[in-house]
Structures are given as structure tokens and as C-alpha cells.
Amino acid sequence: MYVATKGGETAIANAHALMAEDRRGDPKVQEIGAEQIREQLSLGVDRVMAEGSLYDPDLAALALKQARGDQVEAIFLLRAYRTTLPRFGYSEPVDTAAMHVHRRISATFKDVPGGQILGPTFDYTHRVIEPVTAAEEAPRSPEPLPYPLPRVAGVLGREGLLEDTPTACEEAITDLTREPLRFPADRAARLQVLARGDEGFLLGMGYSTQRGYGRSHPFAGEIRMGDVAVEFVAPELGFAIDLGDITLTECDMVNQFKGSKTEPPQFTRGYGLVFGFGERKAMAMALVDRAMRAEELGEEVTAPAQDIEFVLYHADNVEASGFVQHLKLPHHVDFQSELTLIRAMRTEQEALKEAAE
Amino acid sequence: MNDAAYNFGYLDEQTKRMIRRSILKAVAIPGYQVPFGSREMPLPYGWGTGGIQVTAAIIGIGDVLKVIDQGADDTTNAVSIRRFFSRMCGMATTEKTAEASIIQTRHRIPERPLSEGQILVYQVPIPEPLRWLEPRESETRKMHALREYGVMHVKLYEDIATKGKVATAYDYPVLVNGRYIMRPSPIPKFDTPKMHRNAALQLFGAGREKRIYAVPPHTDVVPLDFEDHPFAVETWDRPCALCGAGNTFLDEIVVNDRGGRLFVCSDTDYCNERQEAGHRGDGGAGLEAAE
């Protein structure tokens, strides 16, 4: 009876075996391969890469399979693998202006130089469940998409109506996968947390700013999704070499700003960037980024999304998932201490009551 | 024995060196929380990733590792962590406190006094003792720097004023080396006095919160209290039902649906050693049955 409350090697081994069986499901149904996941559940793969902060569609697909489709678990698997990779350097900043665009839209202008390009979006589908039909042949654009596609921000920027893009950072940028988060956290560090942050959390936080908790009057200035080249300068070569392309989604959110003593009224910006096709996340990220700039822009900090420590400490789903679920580990020693304390306090209270009577 | 694809101790050597530097700083400033570049480990946050990283950074092939959770070597998470190190390092493990060179623990300090040369690695969920009083890290770091600990004494005083005693049963705040207030991790109050001038090196790892702190051997660790309300530990009105020890922390095991309970040592190694030496409890002869 006593031993039964304590676990053991056998229990763990059995749990692993049961999990493997459940993962396979009914053996009469054909097993899926990681390639199928990578090709046919690609948005799920994209999210795992984005929050796992490792761009590797094959591994992300394999992680999703191993995690039985659980995104946060797959993200965790990718992160734990990522830790073990040696760091041999940092790439050059990617140039999203030079993106080979698959999709680019702006909500602030009816038309923009280069045109509105819908690309592969769910946006105007009717959400009716139907057997997924075989892929129709994709329509070909009559002429090749313009390249490079000018940025929408440039239109406003020329009039001085939009704040400038931050210039290249002189100091070394914090790498939050190597160093702990410190406060005050600069924007580069904050954007790193958001880029790795949980989509659901950021969505809720971003949404709250639209409902009045830190309202910032946002407009989707530009959303673009496509491929960019990653370049790396090897010290022994002295020039940049192309490592390959990655797919990114970028959101440039334009927000109102009343102006201050030194700055004329102008539009300010919130920024979102994620691996893969992750528009919901990129937009939410841009809203939260802008909300966290409240103090910098002289706005009153009142809402949760504007509270930098609150947002940054709670955005990571690997941390949150672990700590919330650690409550299922045994806590009987702490609980015993509390029991002893509560019993003692009750006894004292009873004694006082009796004495009073 | 160890997985060839991974480095000894899972982490790469650069990372282990970074962690050891943080540990050295922590040892040099007892009780001070050193921020470190905590890594994602293959075990979840909250499962002891801080302790695992500290252990991974200090362990060598000649070490003998003991892992306990709630005082026991055979609780599932202790088994899992011990297996992780066997797999990644291939060093020896033990369940005997006396034989271990490194003891990783969650929520307990072994009953048997530790000796010089042993290292006790604690898994820490929330390292900041002022956290429930001030949620902001930027503020609490300032409070530590300025030694602005008034709020903690006020909190303890308010407990006494409203409840008659300090209502903290575990993770009881302590003052280390007369300077920093520190969280001892969620060990019961019962274990707090064992930290004081302990011969072993005590290391604390908080993975999710990315902090390492330490209590060097023979360092003062004093629970916060008041002269007229001195710190006191939990007591039980009976000895261990298995080994008869009357001076240990007891787990309360519910043995039937009528509220029958058995009280036994939480430290399984200590209890086993006593039983092997011939000590016997009453086996729960006086099983308490609530009506």
C-alpha cells in the first residue's frame, strides 16, 4: 500500500508504450509520413518552426508526428533539439524588401505600387466543411510579379507622415536563446520574445488592444509573405554567401499617434515577423509590439498588453506549458506542511473559542 | 552507455562553461540570484530544468548521483531525471545519501547530515523571495540591491497579527550570510534549519526563470522571524510507522476510504537504512480512523 503511492521505472516504461500505441492509432488505417505532414499540413509545420525558432520543415513535420499533432509539444521538441546545435555565427539581417512575394496586401490604400496580391489565402473562402478536393491547377499570373515589390510604408514615409524605420543597430543585439531576458528590455529583445511567443497568447493580447485595453488605432499598412535569402559572412571568406531561402510573413501595422512636444502628429508602427505563412501571428505580434511602445511614445501605460514585463514573461508557451503542468508532479511534502499548519491553526482557533465561551 | 549523438551531460561544453561561471559567481555572492542563459532541456520547465542544468554543468564521470523528489528516490520524476543522467553521462547513480557526490533534489533535504565535498542541487520553481509582494523583476532586483527588505518583515508581521503565526509552511524566506533574502525552494520549514552552516555546497537552479544561486559550505542561513515569535518547524505527534524515527519529516499516506492514515518517513533512504539496522515502527498499529 505504501509503495503504491510512489512511482517507478516500470510505470514510466508502460506509459511510454501506451503513448506509442495511441500515437499510431488504429493500425488498419495507413500510417502518415513526415513528408505528408510537411507538404499537406504546412501551416501547422510553419507554426512549429516559428515558435520552435528553428527553420527546418522536415524536423518540424517529424516533431508534429511524434507529438501526435500537439503543436506546443512539437514546438518543445524542436526547441530542445535546437539547444544542442553549435552556434557558428549569425546571418546578415534578412532583407524583406527584397522578398520574392507570394502574397502582399495593404488595407490602407485601395491600390499600391505593385498591386494587391491575394496569394494563397483563406480570407475569402466560405468556411463550409467539404471533402478536400484534389488540387486544381493553380492560376498563373499573366505577367511575373514585380520584383522587388516596393513597400507601402514608403508612400507615407515620403510625406513624413510615418515614423522612420529604426536604423541598423550599432550594438550587438541580445540573443535571448543564449542570454536571459533583462529589463529594461529594448525593442530588439521584445520582438525576439514575440517572434517565439505563443500565437494564442499574442492573439488575445493583440485583440485586447482593439477592444480598448491600450487602444492604438491600428491599420494593416502592409502584410507580405514570401521567400527571402539568408546570407552569412564567413570570416575566412570575407563576403556574404547565400545559405538558401526561407519563407517569412511580415506585418507592418500603422497606428495613430497624437504627437508630442518634439514630434509632430504622425503615424507610428508596430512590427510583426514570423517564419512561414503565419499571418494571424504576425498581425497580433505587430499590435502587441506597438502596445509595448506606449512608454517610449509618452502614452499612459494602463493595459496588460502595454505592460512589458507582463507580456514578455508570459508569452512563451514552452515555459508556460511546463510550469502549469508541473502542478501534476507530486507535491505531497509541501501539502503535508500546509496540512500541519492548517491543523495547528484550527486547533488554536478552537481553543480560543472554548476559552471565550 | 551514453547516447553517442549528444555531448556528455547533454549540454555542449561552451554552455556548461557558461553555467559554471554563473555558479562561481553565485558561490562568491551567497544568496544572490545570478541571471544565466538557461537552455531548453529535453524535460519540461517545472520538472527541474534548472537543477538539471546545474548538475549537467558540474557532473563528471567519477561522480555518483542521487536524485530525490519529495524525499524519495523512486518517485516518477526522480526516476526520470536519474535515467536522463545515466543515459547522457553513464556515471554511477545511488539511492544512498552517504554515497552520493551530487544530490539533486526537489522539495526536501535528506535527513542524514551531509558532509564536506557533497553538493546538493535544488530545483527551484520561483527563485525570487519577494515575488508575491512585488511581481516586477525590475523592482525586486532594485530591492535586493538596496537591501530594501521591509516589505518582507511587514508581511510576516501581518501574518502574525491576523493569523497568530507566520502562515508559510514551505519555501520559508531565509537571510543568507547576513545579506540577501533567499528562497530555499519549496522545502518544508522542517528542512530550513538544515541549510544553516551545512558542510555541503548548496546550489540552486531555476531554469524557466533563468537564475542560479548558491549557499557555500558553512554559511549562515537564518529564517526570518521575530524575537517574540521565533521560527519553529513542523512536528508530528507520532513516530514513523515503518522505522520508528521520531525526528524526521513524515508523509501522510491515506490507506483506506475511512480516512485511515499512516505516517511514514518522506526520506526513503533514511527510513530504509533504519529498518535495515533493525529499527521498527508500529506498522500503523494505531491506524487513525476518522469517524
Give the pLDDT confidence of B129-167 residue by residue, as tens digits: 999 999 999 999 999 999 999 999 999 999 999 888 888
Number of domains comprising chain A: 2
Give the pLDDT confidence of B231-256 residue by residue, as tens digits: 999 889 999 999 999 999 999 988 88
Instruction: Tell whether A172 and A274 lie within a shared domain.
Output: yes
Listed by number, the residues of chain B in 96-115 with a beta carbon closer than 8 Å to a beta carbon of chain A are 106-108
Going from the C-alpha of A59 to that of each of A43, A121, B3, B104, the distances in angstroms are 14, 25, 20, 32
Per the listing, cell 530594501 goes with: B148
Closest Cα partner for B262 from B291, B235, B278, B242? B242
- Considering only CB atoms, which chain B residues are within 8 Å of A76? 40, 44
Whether the complex's predicted ipTM surpasses the cut of 0.90: no
Instruction: Tell whether A37 and A149 lie within a shared domain.
Output: no
DSSP chain B: ---TTSBTTBS-HHHHHHHHHHHHHHHHSTT--EE--PPP-SS-TTSSHHHHHHHHHH--TT-EEEEEETTBSSSHHHHHHHHHHHHHH--EE-S-GGG-SEEEEES---SSPP-TT-EEEEE-S---TTTTT---HHHHHHHHHTT--HHHHHHHHHHHHHHSS----BS--EEETTTEEE---S-BGGGHHHHTT-SSEEEEEETTTTEEEEE-TT--EEE--BTTB-------SS--TTT--SSS-EEEEE-STT--EEEEES-HHHHHHHHHTT----TTTT-B---
Distance from CA of A354 to the nearest CA of B (A): 17
Q: What is the pLDDT of residue A89?
A: 86
- B85 CB-near residues (< 8 Å, 6+ apart): B9, B55, B56, B59, B65, B67, B91, B93
Task: Search chain A and give the residue with CA nearest B164.
Answer: A345
What does the radius of gyration of chain B's CA atoms come to, in whole angstroms? Answer: 20
B76-89 helix and A9-24 helix, angle to the nearest 10 degrees: 80
Listed by number, the residues of chain A in 164-223 with a beta carbon closer than 8 Å to a beta carbon of chain B are 177-184
The answer to whether the Cβ–Cβ distance between B186 and A334 falls below 8 Å is yes
Of A7, A322, A337, the CB nearest to B188: A337
Listed by number, the residues of chain A in 70-99 with a beta carbon closer than 8 Å to a beta carbon of chain B are 76, 79-80, 82-84, 86
| Residue A103, all three cell numbers | 502574397
Q: Best mutation site among A73, A337, A341, A347 for testing chain B: the one with the most B CBs within 10 Å?
A: A337
Going from the C-alpha of B90 to that of each of A142, B35, B65, the distances in angstroms are 63, 29, 11
The answer to whether the Cβ–Cβ distance between B77 and A330 falls below 8 Å is yes
Instruction: Tell whether A282 and A195 lie within a shared domain.
Output: yes
Q: What is the pLDDT of residue A48?
A: 98
A156 inside domain = yes
Instruction: Tell whether A47 and A155 lie within a shared domain.
Output: no
The answer to whether the Cβ–Cβ distance between B44 and A8 falls below 8 Å is no
- For the cut 70, the answer to whether the pLDDT of residue B34 exceeds it is yes
Q: Is A10 on the interface with B (CB under 8 A)?
A: no
Task: Search chain A and give the residue with CA nearest B249.
Answer: A333
Give the pLDDT confidence of A158-181 residue by residue, as tens digits: 777 888 777 766 678 889 999 999
Instruction: Tell whether A77 and A181 lie within a shared domain.
Output: no
Distance from CA of B240 to the nearest CA of A (A): 12
Q: What is the pLDDT of residue A266?
A: 84
Task: Determine what percent of chain B is predicted with pLDDT higher than 70.
Answer: 97
Describe the strand order of the beta sheet including A218-233 as a list of residue ranges: A100-105, A218-233, A240-255, A268-275
A42-52 helix and A71-83 helix, angle to the nearest 10 degrees: 50
Of A8, A82, A313, the CB nearest to B40: A82
A303 inside domain = yes
| Residue A292, all three cell numbers | 509595448
Closest Cα partner for A248 from A39, A46, A3? A46
Q: What is the pLDDT of residue B11?
A: 92
- For the cut 60, the answer to whether the pLDDT of residue A3 exceeds it is no
Instruction: Tell whether A149 and A75 lie within a shared domain.
Output: no
Instruction: Tell whether A100 and A66 lie within a shared domain.
Output: no
A284 inside domain = yes
Assign B4 a pLDDT band (cuts: 50, 70, 90). Answer: low
Measured CA to CA, the distance from residue A26 to residue A17 in angstroms comes to 15
How high is the mean pLDDT of chain B? 93
Task: Search chain B and give the residue with CA nearest A339.
Answer: B169
Chains A, B: CB pairs < 8 Å: 152
Domain final position from A29, A60, A82 = A82
- Considering only CB atoms, which chain B residues are within 8 Å of A177? 37
Distance from CA of A334 to the nearest CA of B (A): 6
Measured CA to CA, the distance from residue A253 to residue A220 in angstroms comes to 5
A216 inside domain = yes
Instruction: Tell whether A67 and A106 lie within a shared domain.
Output: no
Measured CA to CA, the distance from residue A186 to residue A166 in angstroms comes to 12
Assign B1 a pLDDT band (cuts: 50, 70, 90). Answer: very low
Report the Cα–Cα distance between both ends of chain B, in Å, rounded. Answer: 54
The total of other beta-carbon atoms located within 10 Å of residue A70's CB is 14
Instruction: Tell whether A158 and A270 lie within a shared domain.
Output: yes
| Residue B99, all three cell numbers | 554515497
- A150 CB-near residues (< 8 Å, 6+ apart): A97, A112, A113, A114
Of A313, A322, A334, the CB nearest to B107: A334
Residue B230 preceded by cis peptide, ω within 30: no
Of A322, A327, A340, the CB nearest to B169: A340
Q: Is A329 on the interface with B (CB under 8 A)?
A: yes
Instruction: Tell whether A78 and A105 lie within a shared domain.
Output: no
A89 inside domain = no
Listed by number, the residues of chain A in 132-161 with a beta carbon closer than 8 Å to a beta carbon of chain B are none
Q: What is the pLDDT of residue A256?
A: 82
Going from the C-alpha of A224 to that of each of A192, A254, A256, A276, the distances in angstroms are 19, 14, 21, 11
Buried b / exposed e across B158-188, counting CB within 10 Å, b at 16+? eeeeeeeebbbbbbbbbbbbeebbbbbbbbb
Give the pLDDT confidence of A76-115 residue by residue, as tens digits: 999 999 988 888 888 999 999 999 999 999 998 888 888 8
Task: Search chain A and give the residue with CA nearest B170.
Answer: A334
Q: Best mutation site among B13, B45, B252 for testing chain A: the one with the most A CBs within 10 Å?
A: B45
B265 catalytic? Reply is yes
The answer to whether the Cβ–Cβ distance between A7 and B189 falls below 8 Å is no
| Residue B12, all three cell numbers | 555542449
Q: What is the pLDDT of residue B291?
A: 35
B243 catalytic? Reply is yes
Per the listing, cell 518522506 goes with: B266
From the candidates B46, B271, B283, B286, which is the catalytic residue? B271
Side chain identity, residue B115: S
Measure the CA dihedral A178/A184/A185/A186, to 10°: -120
A208 inside domain = yes
- Considering only CB atoms, which chain B residues are within 8 Å of A295? none
Side chain identity, residue B258: R
Instruction: Tell whether A241 and A275 lie within a shared domain.
Output: yes
B89 catalytic? Reply is no
Give the range of the structural domain holding residue A70, as residue numbers without chain letter.
14-82
- For the cut 90, the answer to whether the pLDDT of residue A55 exceeds it is yes
- Are B48 and B77 a contacting pair, CB within 8 Å? yes
- Considering only CB atoms, which chain A residues are within 8 Å of B189? 337
Model confidence, pTM: 0.90
Give the pLDDT confidence of B103-119 residue by residue, as tens digits: 999 999 999 999 999 99
B31 catalytic? Reply is yes
Assign B290 a pLDDT band (cuts: 50, 70, 90). Answer: very low
Measured CA to CA, the distance from residue B78 to residue B98 in angstroms comes to 18
The answer to whether the Cβ–Cβ distance between B69 and A329 falls below 8 Å is yes
B117 Rama class: left (phi>0) / alpha (psi -120 to 50) / beta: left
Of B35, B40, B69, the CB nearest to A80: B40
Measured CA to CA, the distance from residue B271 to residue B243 in angstroms comes to 6
Instruction: Tell whether A50 and A153 lie within a shared domain.
Output: no
Going from the C-alpha of A121 to that of each of A103, A125, A128, A228, B138, the distances in angstroms are 8, 8, 15, 19, 42
Measured CA to CA, the distance from residue A115 to residue A149 in angstroms comes to 9
A221 inside domain = yes
Alpha-carbon torsion A296, A297, A298, A302, what sign?
A: negative
Distance from CA of B51 to the nearest CA of A (A): 15
The answer to whether the Cβ–Cβ distance between B40 and A83 falls below 8 Å is yes
Q: What is the pLDDT of residue A308?
A: 97
Q: What is the pLDDT of residue A172?
A: 80
Distance from CA of B101 to the nearest CA of A (A): 23
From the candidates B9, B31, B50, B71, which is the catalytic residue? B31
Per the listing, cell 499574442 goes with: A202
A286 inside domain = yes
